[in-house]
Amino acid sequence: MKVLATIISYLFHPSIVTSYIFGMVLFFHPNVMLPSMAVKIYLISLVGTTTFLLPVLFVFILLKLKVVSSLHLEKQKERTLPFFFTALMYYLTYVNLQNINYLPPLLSDVLMIVTASVIMLGIVNLKYKISAHAAGIGGLVCISFLIYNLSADENTKYLPMAASLIAGMVFSSRLYLNAHTSMQVYSGGLLGFSIAFGSYFLM
């Protein structure tokens, strides 16, 4: 069971969840129309590199420099620098997407929503060890429901169903691994969901 919980935690690491959210909007949102599949693959690759690979590499460098004691960032005080570096990478990705003329603004807006979430996580983490895994999944669940609400395609009903199932798996895994208390997990999920939901009405 511990092995399964660990695998789930890796598969839905907060940084890679950003690519899942972006991909979900890219392929399923009714207002996103792009000229070719090649463009979509390029965008996914770009977002995956800047929001997942670079932040993970940064944490690895911090580990080698003995700034952090583990790649898992179990200690609250060790999470602050990675959070704000990740937020910077997300913001730069947002700016980059805005400068691509043929992209609908919605795609860059997704990165701004995630950037806001990471900044809030970093601020909250100064005083309280909130679950970044849960926050990422909370955002995923919210956006899946919004896409279903906007789309005329009945098949999108499976998005919130799948996202909710994943949320249950991730929350349970974080609790099983004793990575967080139940309050840290639920508050993280609520934070991610609330920021995505609030941003939708502001943009």
- The sign of the dihedral angle between the CA atoms of 68, 134, 53, 90 is negative
Say whether pLDDT at 106 is over 90.
no
* pLDDT attached to residue 150: 82
Q: Which residues are CB-contacts of 138 (< 8 A; sequence separation ≥ 6)? A: 167, 188, 189, 190, 191, 192, 193, 194, 196
* pLDDT attached to residue 35: 66
Tally of domains in the chain: 1
The pLDDT tens digits for 160-203 are: 999 999 999 999 999 999 988 999 999 999 999 999 898 877 66
User: In the predicted model, what is the mean pLDDT of residues 71-79?
Assistant: 82
Percent of the chain with pLDDT over 70: 99
Say whether pLDDT at 1 is over 90.
no
* pLDDT attached to residue 202: 67
* pTM passes above 0.85: yes
Q: Of 29, 31, 26, 32, which is closest to residue 44 (Cα–Cα)?
A: 26
* pLDDT attached to residue 141: 95
Instruction: Tell me the pLDDT band of 70, cut-offs 50, 70 and 90.
Output: confident
C-alpha 51/C-alpha 33 separation (Å) is 23
Extract the tokens encoding 91: 């913001």
C-alpha 201/C-alpha 151 separation (Å) is 17
C-alpha 90/C-alpha 82 separation (Å) is 12
C-alpha 85/C-alpha 67 separation (Å) is 14
* Domain assignment of residue 62, given as a range: 2-202
